[in-house]
Amino acid sequence: MADVRGKNNYKIVLLGEGRVGKTSLVLRYVNNTFSDKQQTTIQASFLSKRINIGENTCNLAIWDTAGQERFHALGPIYYRDADGALLVYDTTDTESFAKVKNWVKELRKMVGQEIVLCIAGNKIDLDKERQVEKSEAEEYAASVGAYHFQTSAKLGKGIEETFLALAKKMIEQRQENDSRQSARRSGGNAPILVVADDTSNGGSGAASGSKACNC
Amino acid sequence: MEDWRVDIAAAIGRGTTDAQACHPLRCAPTLVKQRAMYGIPDVFRGIVWQKLSGADAMRQSHPSRYAQYCRMSASADGRIKRDLARTMPRNEFFSERGRGGQVLLFNVAHAYAAYDDEVGYSQGMNFLCAILLLHMRQEHAFWVLVCQLVTIMNHLACQLAVELFKLDRLILSCTPSLHQHFAEQGFDVTTFTSEWLLTLFAYSFPLNFTYRVWDVFFIKGFTYILQVAIAIIRQFEGDLLALSFEEIVFLLRDIPSRLHREPKLADAVSLLFLLLLP
C-alpha cells in the first residue's frame, strides 16, 4: 500500500457489530454529514482525512467495515497492518458492547499491543434507551488499555475528540516503535540512545531498553 | 415494449399483438431467453424472472409452503429487523418504517431463514429480496430466492474469495496495464468490488441498471456478474490508469452515482453489456 503507508500516514480500522453507526461516525468525521437513511455496509470502504497535530500533518486512512458476523472472517484483512482500531458499540444495545469485548480479545491476540485501541459508545442522543452505562464501559476500556469516548454521529458529538486522541496515540506509538527499531539496527551501542529517546516520549523506556539489549 | 410484443408475436407465427397471446409464459422458453438477453419490458419482468428461475413451477407444486415458513420461528429475526430500515431507504417503497415494503421484506427474509436454517439470513440478501419485491408478490419473491439466488448466496458465502480472485485474473488478462497500475498503487480490486458481487449489483447501482443485469443473470448465471464487473472496470480504464490509490477507491465508489447522474454514461455501459452477449 505504497500510497497509504507512508511516513505520516496512519491506518485506522473501524470494527463493531452491525448497525451501531460505524459508517455514520466516519461520514460525520470526514464529510461532516449525517443521514438516518444510511444503507447497510456490505463491503469495507475507505475514507481519508488530513489533520494537524502540533507541528505534524498526518493522514488518517480510515477503513470502515461491515458489521455482520458473516463478514467477521474478513476482519484480519483490514486490521492486520492497522495502527489503530476504533471499536464502536451502540449505547442502547448491550450485545454490541459484548461484541466490542470480543474484538478487543481478538486484536490483542492477533496483532498484539502495538495497535492503539479506542472504544466509542455511539448514539448517546438516544439517552432514554441507554443500556450500557458510561462508567461500566470506561472501566472496561481502562482495563484493556483503550481509550473510551461517547459519541453521537447524529448530533456530531465527541467524534473529533475520539479521532484526535486516537491519532495522537498512534503518532506516539509509531515514534516509540521507530526508535526501538533504530536501536535494534544500531546494535550494541544502542541502549544509551534508546533510553534518551524514550524518556522524551514519556515512559515505557524499560520495555524498549530491554529489547534493545537483547539484540 | 410494443416491439417486444410484436417480435414475440411474429416469432411464434401469430399475426396478433394481443397481450394475452404474447404473454411471455406462453412463448417457448428458448424464445423467452433470447428476448430476455436484450432486456425484458418492465411489466413482464417479474413473471419472466419467475419463469427463468423455475420459481414458477416450484411455487405451483408447493402451494401452501410459503405460508408455513412465514409462521415458523427463525433465530435470524433480530438480524433481519436490524437491516429493514437500512435497505434502499431512499426508495419510497421501502422508506416507511414498519410498513409497506419493509413488512414484505421482513416476511420474505424470515420465510427464507425458516426454510434454510443453516444459512438463515445474511447481509446482502436484503437487497436481493428488495429487487424482487419491486417486481412481484412476496410469495413469488420467496420462490425466486429459493430457486435462483440462494445457490449463488451459498456459493459466495464460502467461495467469495475465489470469485474475487477470478475477477482479479480477468483484469490481468483483459487489461494488464490496469492490473499493473493497481498493483503499483497497492490497490486490491477485490476489496472494493465484493459488494457488486454479493448483491449482484443491487446495492447502489441505478435500479434500471440492476434489472438489466439481472435479466441476463437469470439466464447466464453468476459468470455474467463477473463479466459486467469487468465491463464496468474497462469502461473507466482510461481514468483509473491516471489515479492514485485513494482516487481509485473514490472513483469505484462513485460509479453508481455517476450512472445516476450521467444517463449517457449509463447508455455506454449498457452497450458494453450487449457486446458481452454471444
pLDDT digits (tens, 9 = 90+) for B54-103: 998 999 999 999 999 999 988 899 989 999 999 999 999 999 988 899 99
The answer to whether the CB of A158 falls within 8 A of the CB of A150 is yes
Buried b or exposed e, range B62-97, using 16+ CB within 10 angstroms: eeebbeebbeeebebbebbbbbbbbbbbeeeebeee
Q: Give the pLDDT of residue A44.
A: 84
Residues of chain B in contact with residue A38, where contact means CB-CB under 8 angstroms, are: 86, 89
For A27, the grid coordinates are: 461520514
Number of other CB atoms surrounding residue B227 within 10 Å: 20
3-state helix, strand, coil in chain B (%, to 5): 70, 0, 30
- What is the C-alpha R_g of chain A? 18
* CATH class, A9-179 region: alpha beta
For chain B, give me the number of helices (H) and strands (E)? 17, 0
> Which chain A residues are within 8 Å of B195, Cβ to Cβ?
42-43
List, in sequence order, the alpha helices (H) in B38-84.
Answer: 42-53, 55-61, 65-71, 77-84
**ipTM topping 0.90:** no
Dig out the grid coordinates for A97 from the structure: 458492547
Count Cβ atoms within 10 A of the Cβ of residue B170 and give its class: 0-12 exposed, 13-18 middle, 19 or more buried. Answer: middle
Of B87, B192, B246, the CB nearest to A3: B246
CA distance A108 to chain B (A): 24
Q: Can you tell me which residue has the cell 435500479? A: B207
Is beta strand A116-122 parallel, antiparallel or unpaired with respect to A56-64?
A: unpaired
User: What mean pLDDT is reported for chain A?
Assistant: 84
Q: What are phi and psi of A85, to 5 degrees?
A: -125, 135
Fold of B65-276: Cyclin A; domain 1 (1.10.472)
In terms of Cβ atoms closer than 10 Å to its own Cβ (0-12, 13-18, 19+), residue A26 is: buried
Rounded Cα gap, residues A215 and A210, in angstroms: 9
**Minimum-distance CB partner of B195 among A2, A5, A43:** A43
Residue among B123, B249, B253 whose CB faces A42 most closely? B123
* Grid cell of B256 as nine digits: 453508481
The confidence score (pLDDT) of residue A203 equals 42
How high is the pLDDT of residue A177? 86
Give the per-residue pLDDT at A90: 97
Residue of A9, A31, A39 to mutate when probing chain B, most B C-beta within 10 A:
A39
Return d(Cα A103, Cα A72) in angstroms, integer: 10
How far, in Å, CA of A73 to CA of A135, rounded? 31
What pLDDT score does A214 carry?
43
Q: Tell me if chain A has a CB within 8 Å of the CB of B203.
A: yes
A 10 A CB-CB count for B17 gives 16
Task: Measure CB to CB from residue B124 to each of A38, A42, A48 and give the nearest one.
Answer: A42
Residue at grid coordinates 447481509: B123
A69-83, A100-114, B211-225 — which is least confidently predicted? A69-83
Distance CA A185, CA B50 (A): 67
DSSP annotation of B117 reads T
| Model pLDDT for residues A3-55, shown as the tens digit of each residue | 445 678 999 999 999 999 999 999 999 999 999 899 998 888 889 999 998 88
Banded pLDDT at B6 (limits 50, 70, 90): low
Residues 6+ apart with CB under 8 A from B222: B152, B155, B163
CB pairs < 8 Å spanning A and B = 70
Domain ranges of chain B: 2-54, 65-276
Alpha-carbon torsion, ordered B125, B129, B131, B135, to 10 deg: 160
